[in-house]
A and B are shown apart, each in its own frame.
Chain A
Amino acid sequence: MSKKALVIGGGIAGINAAVELANNDKLVILVEKNGELGGNVNDMAATFPELDEAQPLLDEQKSKVEDNENIDIKFNSEVISVSGKAGDFKVEINEDGNTVAEEVGAIIVATGFNYMEPNDYSEYGYSRLDNVVTSQEYERMVMNGDIKKYSNSNVVFVHCVGSRDRVKGYRYCSKICCTYSAKHALLLKQEVPSANAFVFYIDIRALGKGYEEFIRDAIEDYGVRYIRGRVSKVINKEDTLLVKAENSLIGNPVELNADLVVLASAMEPQKDSKELAEILGIETDDYGFYKEAQSNMEPVKSSKEGIFLAGSCTAPLEIRESVAMGKAAASESLSFLG
């Protein structure tokens, strides 16, 4: 008799893992902490590098899970204990307040990332000044049309907030904010052609198929202006904001009046990632991202047999890689499901 599989986290990675398993006639329990599927993609207006609308794409993915009778979705639920070994795990799940026990053959962890709230970055005035928002808040502003009010305005996109920062943030690079900031600048120019978009960067990291071209298009076709230099300060100047930075290719300090400042904040591990690692008995790296069995050859295996990793709970990742990891984790787990 074949065993069930447990997928923890109903983001884009978890969804794809669950669907893949269901397509292989396995029974899947999908545990989602919140009341809806989709994770961070719920906050997304469009996706790079093709600028497809994100919500229809996500709805299509969600429906694959919701309409699937092999998948038992448990909303508002969390895993509270795990015992046993690969092929024969006993898990307890807190489902909406009630504890349920299940037996599963394999576990896929797809709990995703947390988007850092840059409250410590007082130099950027986040949560202190009006019109300073995070990139995630900006995606919402695109969806509900709030960005329309920035016609004839200067909008400044600030890279590496909380990433590449040993003091107040993380030493790592969040990998995709270069590309999504280009997306944001591009969306601005499409929706509000009269607005000016300025992007302040340290290095441009466009690490993916079509990403470099995407950013070049923003510069070449849409006139988005890129200034090399990490923003030093955002301060209040009468009714607008004043952005201070160095133009480090020229070597001079620059100031820029801005009407909206968008902070590309870091993708950080879920706050409770180390606790879940403890429950599962798997390892994390120093930050709290889950650690692979071997970083080159075993990208979806955790440090414990029978437990697999998918998506941005392992590192900052874009959708495409999260999806691929979800599917890969599903196929690797098949061997423990009998």
Chain B
Amino acid sequence: MLEKANDWSDTFYDKWKPIAMGFVNGAEKCLQCGKCTGQCPAAAVNPSYNPRKIIYDLVNGNIKRVLSSVELWQCFFCSGCFATCPVDINFPFFVFMLRLGAMSQGFGWEDVKQLEKYAEKDYLQDGITVSPEERNPYVIEERGDIADIRQKAGMPRQREVSDEAIAEINMISDLSGMTNFMKKIGGVELYDCSKCTPKIEEKCKSKELPKKVGNVKTHYRFYNYGVPIGGADNA
């Protein structure tokens, strides 16, 4: 379909670079050679994921397409592309910063929401991001309680993190704005597709999620780099 290149932003990348704290540099050096995509595990399993195309759009300023895409959220963060890129582009850092950018535009909150508990419950409460409680019943069935295994190995039933340490990371969280950020995520309500009605579906396709919670206005993301085999519903 015809694209209007006039609408692309030629300043986004330049403006964004300093905000991104120097983590993202050199996208303009990209040769569009495809060495990254050829070994990318996410590209191998997702029909439309392609890091090369994301960089291309970033440099050329078609930033709307990047930020509203489903693909932006499909990177595995494996750094395989960085390991072989001939111009040393650290693409996973780009993805990380671009996702923050996407969130500021209201995209991607549904993904982040699913991960909220790791920060709120585990990291900030216990100081350990992986909870000792097993959430998968099949694992418990197979293995039993991890505390017993620790005990059998001659270790305390649970790894201790001192109260001061937990207080300190919470203080960091407050001071650095993470707590506020978490509140925002807390305000997002996950949209349950299994309870979808034709009416909601209609709305959903015309871009926005029906619910606007707190300060965050969330948007529906699109397969912007190609529709996966079997159609977009096949997500």
Interface membership of B100, Cβ < 8 A: no
Interface membership of B158, Cβ < 8 A: no
Given that A230-B33, A253-B40 are contacting pairs, would A165 and B52 also be in contact in the complex, using a CB cutoff of 8 Å? no
A166 near B29: Cβ-Cβ < 8 Å: yes
Within 8 A of B (CB), among A239-294: 244-248, 251-254
A231 partner residues in chain B, CB cutoff 8 A: 35, 38
Binds A, one of B6-14, B85-93, B111-119, B206-214: B85-93
B85 near A167: Cβ-Cβ < 8 Å: yes
Count how many chain B residues have C-beta atoms less than 8 Å from C-beta atoms of the other chain.
Answer: 24
- Give Cα distance in the complex from A244 to B50, angstroms: 15
Interface membership of B43, Cβ < 8 A: yes
Interface membership of A123, Cβ < 8 A: yes
Q: Total contacts A to B, CB within 8 angstroms? A: 79
A202 near B43: Cβ-Cβ < 8 Å: no
A229 CB, min distance to chain B CBs, angstroms: 4
Interface membership of B165, Cβ < 8 A: no
Contact partner of A248 (CB less than 8 A), chosen from B44, B52, B84, B87, is B52
A167 partner residues in chain B, CB cutoff 8 A: 85-88
- Give Cα distance in the complex from A164 to B43, angstroms: 24
B34 near A245: Cβ-Cβ < 8 Å: yes
Interface membership of B32, Cβ < 8 A: yes
Contact with A along B200-235 (1 / 0, CB 8 A): 000000000000000000000000011000000000
A253 near B86: Cβ-Cβ < 8 Å: no
A253 near B44: Cβ-Cβ < 8 Å: yes
Given that A229-B38, A246-B38 are contacting pairs, would A253 and B88 also be in contact in the complex, using a CB cutoff of 8 Å? no
B125 CB, min distance to chain A CBs, angstroms: 41
A245 near B38: Cβ-Cβ < 8 Å: yes
A228 near B86: Cβ-Cβ < 8 Å: no
A177 CB, min distance to chain B CBs, angstroms: 14
Interface membership of B53, Cβ < 8 A: yes
- Give Cα distance in the complex from A169 to B85, angstroms: 12
A248 near B32: Cβ-Cβ < 8 Å: yes
Interface membership of A320, Cβ < 8 A: no
Contact partner of B225 (CB less than 8 A), chosen from A164, A228, A244, A251, is A251
Interface membership of B37, Cβ < 8 A: yes
Given that A123-B84, A165-B86 are contacting pairs, would A251 and B226 also be in contact in the complex, using a CB cutoff of 8 Å? yes
Interface membership of A148, Cβ < 8 A: no
A128 partner residues in chain B, CB cutoff 8 A: none
A255 CB, min distance to chain B CBs, angstroms: 9
Residue of A nearest to B81 (CB): A232
A160 partner residues in chain B, CB cutoff 8 A: 33
A246 near B87: Cβ-Cβ < 8 Å: no
Interface membership of A85, Cβ < 8 A: no
B86 near A229: Cβ-Cβ < 8 Å: no
Interface membership of A233, Cβ < 8 A: yes
Contact partner of A232 (CB less than 8 A), chosen from B36, B48, B53, B225, is B36
B84 partner residues in chain A, CB cutoff 8 A: 123, 232-233
B53 partner residues in chain A, CB cutoff 8 A: 251
Contact with A along B23-52 (1 / 0, CB 8 A): 000000101111111111001100010101
Interface membership of A168, Cβ < 8 A: yes
Provide a sorted-by-A list of 16 A–B residue pairs whose CB atoms are within 8 angstroms.
A164-B33, A165-B87, A166-B88, A167-B86, A169-B86, A202-B32, A229-B38, A230-B35, A231-B38, A232-B35, A232-B38, A232-B84, A248-B52, A251-B48, A251-B226, A253-B44
